[in-house]
Structure 1
Amino acid sequence: MASSRAVWKNNKRGHDDNDGGHQQCKWKPQALLRQQTHREKWIKQQYHRGRGGGRRRWFKITIPHGKKYDKKWLLSALQDECSRSFTPVKYHTQGHTVHFFIDDAAIANALSKASRKITGPKGYKLTVRMKPCSAPSFIHTELTPEELERLKQCMSKRFDGSEQALDLKSIGTDPDLMCQNIEMLLNRKSCMQAVIKIIEEHIPTLTSINLSSNQLCHLDGVEELLSKVPSLKALNLSRNGLKTEQELDKLQGFKLVELWLDGNPLCAHFKDQATYISAVRQRFPQLLRLDGCDLPQLEGFDVEGSTTLPFHCGEIKKLVMRFLQDYYGVYDSDNRQPLLDAYHERSSFSFRAHFPGQNPSTCGLGDYHRDSFNLHKLKEPTAQFHLLKRTRLSVVALLNELPKTLHDTASFNIHVNSYSNTSLSFTVSGVFREVDSRSADCFKAFSRLFVAVPARSGGLCIVNDELCVKNATEEKIRGAFRAMAPPHSSGPVCTVSAFQQEMLSAFSLQSGMNLEWSKKCLEDNKWDFNRAAHIFTNLKAMGKIPHIAFRK
């Protein structure tokens, strides 16, 4: 048996494109392993350098004996083997060798790994060499007048005048440009500048533009492009190379109603579709469609429009009342997440539970004690920074943890503290009950101070929110939810006629309420069984019947 140190010989038939068949490979196993390890380490170094910040790294791809292959077949074979989509820059031949450039380290690395994995039509293996290089000189060169004219003609064919839409999808592979050897890569500043110039001069009324599949890794050029077309409403950026959602910040000033981002690496960073939609909508609040799908309407909060508040007191009242109706409509629902749209990005929130001289766990306020903020009683110096919530994400995260509620809007007492054309401060107090509470004493009193600024469509945007909760007094409890308030008397049910007693038993059995609450409901409706049943059904559907009514 041959020794493991024996010389390896290449017994393959024919030859490949690396050595031309002129000599056989003779390598000792250890030397071959060392060479492969060294090459892998070198490739990784170049890859990570290319991914780093600062100046963009370029790579020259060389294919020995590549001239004998058809260009279309060669690029297609490389694309099939390469794990990432690419567009070759400045494809050309020199002697029998093919050269082109790549400006993405990950793509260059993937191409190098395709070496000797592709078999040509005659059975020869294809060699792919990759070498880092400085930016080619032609990258910073502006297009010639002839090339600009060709580009203008190409864009004219892609323009739909009836829709004011321009389709620049995969513009770099357009046959009209490739046959003239015009390298049109929109991630190159010179190419994007040429496109911007043509749009600005000839079609500034664009309403839609498709920039998909153009290897865009940043949006600096797109930001400049959009500044030239103020009427633009739809933008397609799908299947590009956008890696972080922060790139979208560059486009925040533009009033887009349709946006496509699918196929970009940034889309994989979100844990679910809801988080993805929320992140995009924060930057484009007027967006109606994302990736071709209609977005659900925002519940209750305007974010687009005027930037000042009305001075007339009547208008201020309408503004506050509409805001509170919308706010508590969401707050009392099963999902408080839409409250994100009511708060400013840098809003703050503090919470206080008031239980003077009482143990919070025994006075029904135990659920609130943990998050209660009282600077005078805080023993930990750093606790105030944890209890004072900043940014709307942390504010709504805390609101989601508070008990589910139902507020009695009829009990609201509203006071406007101060207002100007840029800010508004008002206080609202009243009574609510905890929907999920197992305690008979589920009613609470609250006071809330809102400081708000104008939202962009005439609504309010909260910048500071201070909430105080305490146990409601007996008087407030009796006055709350008057449509189904508890009876004033705590004594036994008064004597009724035999007929009414029979009706009372039947109503209690069908409604599930105890006799005391059933009697109250029948009396309020003048012992009209059908009317009382109808009122009960409606109030129960609205959640306005407290749990105590069902305790027997």
Structure 2
Amino acid sequence: MAEEGKGGYSEHDDRVGVVGGGGSFSVRRRKGRGPFRGKMYSEMNHRFRNRGGIGPGPSPRLRLDEGDGDVLMSDAHDGSRARHMPYGPRPNRRAEDWHDRDKGAASSLQASVKRNQTVQDRSGATKTKWFKVTIPYGKKYEKSWLLSNIQSHCSVPFVAVEFHQDHSRAHFYVEDSKTAAALRQVSRKIIDRDNFKVVILVNNSSPPQSLQNELKPEEVEQLKICMSKRYDGSQKSLDLKSLRTDPDLVAQNIDAVLSRRSCMLVLLRIIEDNIPELISLIMSHNKLYRLDEMAELGQKAPNLKILDLSHNELKSERELEKVKDLKLEELWLDGNPLSNFFKDQSTYVSAVRERFPKLLRLDGHELPPPINFDVETPTTLPPSKGSYFSSDDLKAPVLRFLQQYYTVYDSGDRQGLLEAYHDGACCSLSIPPIHGNPSRNTLGEYFKDSRNVKKLKDPTLRFKLLKHTRLNVVAFLNELPKTQHDIHSFVVDICAQTNTLLSFVVHGIFKEVDGKARDSVRAFDRMFVTVPAVNNGLCIVNDKLFVRNATTEEIRKAFVMPAPTPSSSPVPTLSAEQQEMLQAFSMQSGMNLEWSQKCLQDNEWDYGSAAQVFTQLKVEGKIPEVAFQK
């Protein structure tokens, strides 16, 4: 027996193994070390030479690998091949060890697939990812037997694009990483009639060449002529059934493959330029396995009502998502593999109608009338309404309370708010979800105290973030950024009212006046739950604050009118009597509080004189509109 070489491979795991290198080789049994001799030796020599040649020159592994650049050098052509180590331990050939190795290879491939996918996304490459599938010794199998067995073991439906054979292998392409990973899991699960395990190798690849070919200008013109012959102007119907075998195209040697991206895009462009009024489109028997390139069909032919996709290669109803913008009334899908994946007809109809709610006929069968309300989506939002006070009796005390509260809140020293809170009051803060690093977000100052954007597993922390007692509440408010509120932006809605409780929500705009986010404009919504206090005032028992960034429109409208001068006093400089007079004058005149106060002050708080002056100036049209903006 000749001396064993260094580089070789072993045949199938349940057959004899051949080890070769350089110009010699030896054959050994899987079990035992006795060599084959005589006639069997010659037969094995002839057998392996016919499968690709073993003899002088490079190692058989390298020679096979040179035939296909898509197969990684780290992957074996046959699952049972292993590098021979003449001075190392003999490999364990137990079935479970082969299985474990398959699991490792599968996870390695999946990691490779995911890594390649990420790199391509970052480089800005096309969104479609292609993978080449190789079956070593796949040429000896019938195509139908091989593909049907792979599909039966694969966890996801797939289309074998451009199936072909070279040397002893079979190849085809698939289009996404999920399918690629599922196919890799099928490796070694199929056993042929000779008890050999079918190995499946999957590698990242460029798109198949047939999908990259562009139609030449003269071919586009011929395709346009062919389509014009197939168009019925009276029915506004275009019949593209079996377009690839059209005699006119075959005679011109034009390969019109509608599953090819370039061809489909040309087709849609012709429809857009020449027959945008199209109502019916027949595309049956064209071997379509995806509808990605048809996503813009609704824009090219907005009146399309009938679409025939029967007898194609659509595997999943998910493909229909890509054309769901079409307002179809009739659809044909029979003859596609996707029809076989539904347990019953009602499930099939529901899945299709979920994408096309106005569908009346499916595969030639009438469907029950769709349930809809024919409510058109409004193009613009209705204008927002102003404040809601259930009665004028509530309006005055609520507005007075808000003016006093936010005058102190914006003063720079919020200790004066202690008088506004009940001894057992509680307060909480919420903000919108923050994506990324909170410290880099403009709302980062509010993140640490927010109760709604953190996963709080510690009940004590959850309790601490809800501030209890008026001392803790005011201390918490003091830590928030210093602000200036636009009183004139406030919109107030009364939610609930009883003899002992009043709940209302305030929406408004403020800006920060110090810190990192100085001059940042925010919007807020704040719910106050109050109980009666002395002097007909309100005392807060619950305070819920929500802060977000203001919209462009809110910023544009904010701080149009000058803000009142802040005061550190919990009660503005006006007496209680003046406060009541101000509220009454504002209510009767229709002017806002600022201009009402100005009118009263100019008349030395003489209500009758102020009312007479106001009436005269209003008749003369000398009061600006800004005075009536609440």
TM over 0.5: no
Q: Which has the larger radius of gyration?
A: 2
- Which has the higher relative contact order, 1 or 2, with Cα contacts under 8 A spaced 6 or more apart? 1
TM-score (norm 1): 0.41
TM-score (norm 2): 0.37
